[in-house]
Structure 1
Amino acid sequence: MADAGAEPIIAPPPAERLPVRLKIFHGFGSIAYGIKENGFATFLLLFYNQVVGLDAGLVGTAIMFALIADAFVDPVIGELTDRTQTRWGRRLPWLYGAPIPLAIAWMMLWSPPEGGTALTIGWLVGWAIVVRSLVSMCEVPSVALVPELTGDYDERTILMRYRFLFGWTGGLLILILAYGVFFRAAGETDPDGYYAYALSGAVLMAGAVLVSALGQHKRVAKPSPPQPRHSGGLRAIAREMRQTLSNRAFLWLVFAALFAFMNQGIAFSLTNYFLGFVWHLTQTEKVAYGLLLFVTMVAAFVTIPALAKRLGKREAAILAGSISITFSAALYLSYYLGVIPGLPDSPSVVIMFAMTFLANTAAITLMVLSSSMMADVVEASQAETGRRSEGLFFAGYFFMQKCATGAGIFLAGQILSWSSFPIGAMPGQVDAQVISNLALSYTIVLVAVGLTGLLVLRRFPIDRASHEQRLAILSGAARMDPDAEGMHP
């Protein structure tokens, strides 16, 4: 372990189980993240393409630029949260300060002014960056609490399950409201429906983060651990950030997750195109689809603990990813080959729902486990550097996620452009060959990107045994340091 010199060694948190109430409040704040993801991945491209009237490829490029530009803010936010010094600790001040500005910025994103293409694109890029930066100010400090609340290998996975459960609940709640209420009368190209969509999202996001912070306040509102002084100023801080983010386990996990989130960005961006133009779902069936996705989250929530305990996080994640790719690719390849019953006008909704259930349950399992693996990287880094950098690691993870999601949205826009998908199209009025080519292109990209990510994930080096051994060493070293006795974030 790295010699910390005169600096006190911060003990990792005890490997203990947490009260269910605390897990619920902790996960509740992820509702905001789910709503944001739903907006960016499902409706934003459609809104600026079909409602505002911009070219899909141009909109996809603009969103990708905004996401990548915003991603560079995340490591700064993560480092700032790690270094925040207050009597309430490092994370709570951010969770109380960011939600209201986030709600305002969310409303602005969905209210572009009338003007030329340049003005509209500038509005989209600018407010997209502001929204996503404010979401990071909520999400980075919140998820950084996971490795601070418990050191237990399995309990961290359980905490991540709750985060994903509420994140998906938020996204699916706004999705069901959109299909069943806001767009029920005139469809997803109705401009009036987007005001109600934006306002509901703003209220839910701000409320969820504030309730989550209040619910955890008693547990986490403790003075921040002392930070070392840096004689080199900003240059020394930047050097420490590079050293921390060079951790081998972190790099392998981020590189693998890059491909998973790229696939997720593509799939989510094309959701409305698939539901309306490929599967010809009615508004009622779209509501049922939203409920189906929630059922997949519940299924993953139930199955993840046993799967992770039996196989370990890495092997369980690889298995889940393989299942997700297999069923997703089989669904759209079957459509292209014309073997789905009812094609082309009434493809089987039952088959689509069944295969989506299996694919999405496995995809959520992969995402939960990879996030839990990131929590275990904290102690691996501490053993090398002597520092706990929860915020920086998860900010780096979000940096990658935003870049990958932006690339996925960009690819979705390009796929639509390559398919010559028309602006202002109505379901049932697009040439069948265009729809078939869309299904084939998606299948090819899905398999290529997904399998690459799983091959990379095999290199992740942390398992249960190495994590528990590392916790024991760090805890023992902290007990031997009289200046840090009993001290942890």
Structure 2
Amino acid sequence: MATAPQLRKLPLATKLAYGFGSVAYGIKDNGFQTLLLLYYNQVVGVPAHLVGLAIMVALVIDAFVDPIVGHLSDHLRSRWGRRHPFMYAAALPVGLLYLLLWNPPTSSPGATVAWLAGTAILIRTAISCYEVPSSALAPELTADYHERTSVLGYRYLFGWIGGMTMLLLTFNVFLQPTAQYPLGQLNPDGYHRYALVAAIAMTLSIAISALGTHREIRHLPQGRPARTSIAGTFREIAATLRNRAFLILIGAGVFAYTSQGLSFALSTYFNTFVWGFPAAALGLFTIAVLVGVGLAFLLASRVSRRLGKRRTAVLLSLCYIIVSIIPLLLRRNGLFFVNGDPALMPVLMGFTALGTALGVGNMILGASMMSDVVEEAQERTGARSEGLFFAGSFFMQKCVSGLGLFLTGIILSGVGFPTGALPGQVSQQTLYRLIDTYCVLHIVLGLTGLLILSRFPITRAQHEQRVARLAETASHAAPLPGSEPEYTLPSNAQAAPL
């Protein structure tokens, strides 16, 4: 049987190093969900539905890599443990591939779409080789019910700080208006500068995180050597991922992340065409998002200590559904500030901060709940499969994020949103159709995910009892195959001279 992680509090330095690596994921995720569709559609000139389709296909194909990476990581045995070899190996490819994504050939529309799909698959695969093993570290670093929420809070904190900081630089530095491009969001050179800086930041964050958590390897559970066929490997993956608690989290996540993908992809359209903000003003919203992330970091941990993870997650989900659409519904009915009103920006920033706090807080709790599934499954199967469970979560996120982007392309085409449009040139009726469609989908997706999440079965008391039983069992278990020393000298023997 696999050994259990220690029930311990982690030093702050370890939490900071662990969380810092998610800067790479934050940059990539915000780039894909906020900028990529706009860049390829409005700047490169590819029709929105083809961009959405290419991204969705790329993400779905790449998502099948995650369970393989998770399985290989779970069973790897090396002097650097199960996770760190993957983390170190991913650093350089991630940066190089992200740079290529934003520099497509323009010889033909077909070549551009193929480049988008191909590079999107490769960058997602490279990120998986870091993100899946790194995520699997959280339940390995500590078995403490609330400490896991704290550890994962740092992960989301740095992920959002990294992503939002890069967006702040993008809108306020890289996408500056020029004589040729009076609307900065349509300046192709700005996207190329963004790609270079983002690629460097992603590589550095992964390398620093791997180095900063290297000293924890001696505390981590050991892997079981895998000696099965390819067919046997897939049977083991399927059996592991049939866990009921895991499937509940995945089911809730399908709807939540589809809604998130839709929201992120349309956020730049809303800010540019509904609210009429220039690129510099759009950058200010990252400040509101950063404030919201800081609130989420405190909110998830403190409220869940009183209510438990499941009840807190359900409460935050419900509040998020309501808060995130209030400004759009008020504008749709003529009850909100008009464009140009001095109060418009600060009020929207307040709604953005609150919505971010609720949404990110829920993500932190979802990841912490996924960590608790590991011991529940270990008690049933005798194996720790952190990599597989988190890979399954990423599999879901990638598939449905692609679905969100695909739906965005369909919505934009369906409401008749024009290509190459400038603020003030899109009709009011088109904008109202866009708002109506988005709000209906957001409510339906959010409520469905909330109802599924409310069925999550693991409580704090159950988790702590389970950890105690596993620790007792592990203390009597034989060593894992391959973990015994090859030869030990008797205590009264002397080593032969070389």
Q: Give, in whole Å, the separation in 2 of the partners of 1:334 and 1:260.
A: 23
* Match in the other structure for 1:4: none
RMSD over aligned CA atoms reads 1.8
For 1:23-65, what per-residue CA distance to the aligned partner results, in whole angstroms no more than 9, with x for missing partners?
A: 0000000000000001100010001100110111111111111
Q: Which one-letter code corresponds to 2:217 in the other structure?
A: V
**Superposed counterparts of 1:31-50, under 5 Å:** 31-50=23-42
Q: Is the 8 A contact 2:37 2:52 kept in 1?
A: yes
Q: Give, in whole Å, the separation in 1 of the partners of 2:17 and 2:252.
A: 30
**Superposed counterparts of 1:278-289, under 5 Å:** 278-289=274-285
Q: Give, in whole Å, the separation in 1 of the partners of 2:424 and 2:6.
A: 58
- Structure 1 residue 369 and structure 2 residue 365: aligned? yes
Q: CA deviation at 1:358?
A: 1.6
- Structure 1 residue 268 and structure 2 residue 264: aligned? yes
Q: Give, in whole Å, the separation in 1 of the partners of 2:164 and 2:225.
A: 43
Q: CA deviation at 1:99?
A: 1.2
Q: Give, in whole Å, the separation in 1 of the partners of 2:169 and 2:10.
A: 33
* Match in the other structure for 1:104: 96
Q: Give, in whole Å, the separation in 1 of the partners of 2:411 and 2:231.
A: 43
For 1:369-401, what per-residue CA distance to the aligned partner results, in whole angstroms no more than 9, with x for missing partners?
A: 001111111001101111000111100100000
* Match in the other structure for 1:195: 192
**Superposed counterparts of 1:75-474, under 5 Å:** 75-186=67-178, 187-220=184-217, 225=222, 227-228=224-225, 230=227, 232-342=228-338, 348-474=344-470
Q: Give, in whole Å, the separation in 1 of the partners of 2:276 and 2:189.
A: 23
Q: CA deviation at 1:236?
A: 2.2
Q: Is the 8 A contact 1:84 1:224 kept in 2?
A: no
For 1:319-363, what per-residue CA distance to the aligned partner results, in whole angstroms no more than 9, with x for missing partners?
A: 101111001122211121111121599882233222222222101
Q: Is the 8 A contact 2:3 2:222 kept in 1?
A: no
Q: CA deviation at 1:148?
A: 0.6
* Match in the other structure for 2:181: none
Q: Is the 8 A contact 2:24 2:202 kept in 1?
A: yes
Q: Is the 8 A contact 1:88 1:222 kept in 2?
A: no
Structure 2: give runs of 5+ residues left out of the alignment.
179-183, 484-498
Q: Give, in whole Å, the separation in 1 of the partners of 2:191 and 2:19.
A: 27
Q: Is the 8 A contact 1:344 1:432 kept in 2?
A: no
Q: 1:104 to 1:440 in 2, by over 3 A?
A: same
Q: Give, in whole Å, the separation in 1 of the partners of 2:248 and 2:234.
A: 21
Q: Give, in whole Å, the separation in 1 of the partners of 2:387 and 2:48.
A: 35
Q: Is the 8 A contact 1:87 1:221 kept in 2?
A: no
Provide the secondary structure at the position in 2 that maps to 1:483.
coil
**Superposed counterparts of 1:15-94, under 5 Å:** 15-94=7-86
Q: Give, in whole Å, the separation in 1 of the partners of 2:239 and 2:429.
A: 51
> Structure 1 length normalisation: TM-score?
0.95
Q: Give, in whole Å, the separation in 1 of the partners of 2:278 and 2:41.
A: 21
Q: 1:442 to 1:347 in 2, by over 3 A?
A: farther
Provide the secondary structure at the position in 1 that maps to 2:458.
coil
Q: Give, in whole Å, the separation in 2 of the partners of 1:223 and 1:290.
A: 36
Q: Give, in whole Å, the separation in 2 of the partners of 1:287 and 1:240.
A: 46
Q: CA deviation at 1:367?
A: 0.6
Q: 1:19 to 1:270 in 2, by over 3 A?
A: same
Q: 1:74 to 1:216 in 2, by over 3 A?
A: same
Q: 1:235 to 1:283 in 2, by over 3 A?
A: closer
Q: Is the 8 A contact 1:84 1:90 kept in 2?
A: yes
Q: Is the 8 A contact 1:86 1:223 kept in 2?
A: no
Between stretches 199-208 and 85-94, larger displacement belongs to 85-94
Provide the secondary structure at the position in 2 that maps to 1:188.
helix
Q: Give, in whole Å, the separation in 2 of the partners of 1:229 and 1:408.
A: 36
Structure 1: give runs of 5+ residues left out of the alignment.
1-8
Name which one, 1 or 2, has greater alpha-carbon Rg.
2
Q: 1:91 to 1:284 in 2, by over 3 A?
A: same
Provide the secondary structure at the position in 2 that maps to 1:422.
coil
Q: Percent identity?
A: 45
For 1:247-267, what per-residue CA distance to the aligned partner results, in whole angstroms no more than 9, with x for missing partners?
A: 110001111011111111001
Q: CA deviation at 1:13?
A: 1.1
Provide the secondary structure at the position in 2 that maps to 1:135.
helix
Q: Is the 8 A contact 1:345 1:428 kept in 2?
A: no
Q: 1:124 to 1:229 in 2, by over 3 A?
A: closer
Provide the secondary structure at the position in 1 that maps to 2:325.
helix
Q: Is the 8 A contact 2:76 2:224 kept in 1?
A: no
Q: Give, in whole Å, the separation in 1 of the partners of 2:8 and 2:430.
A: 55
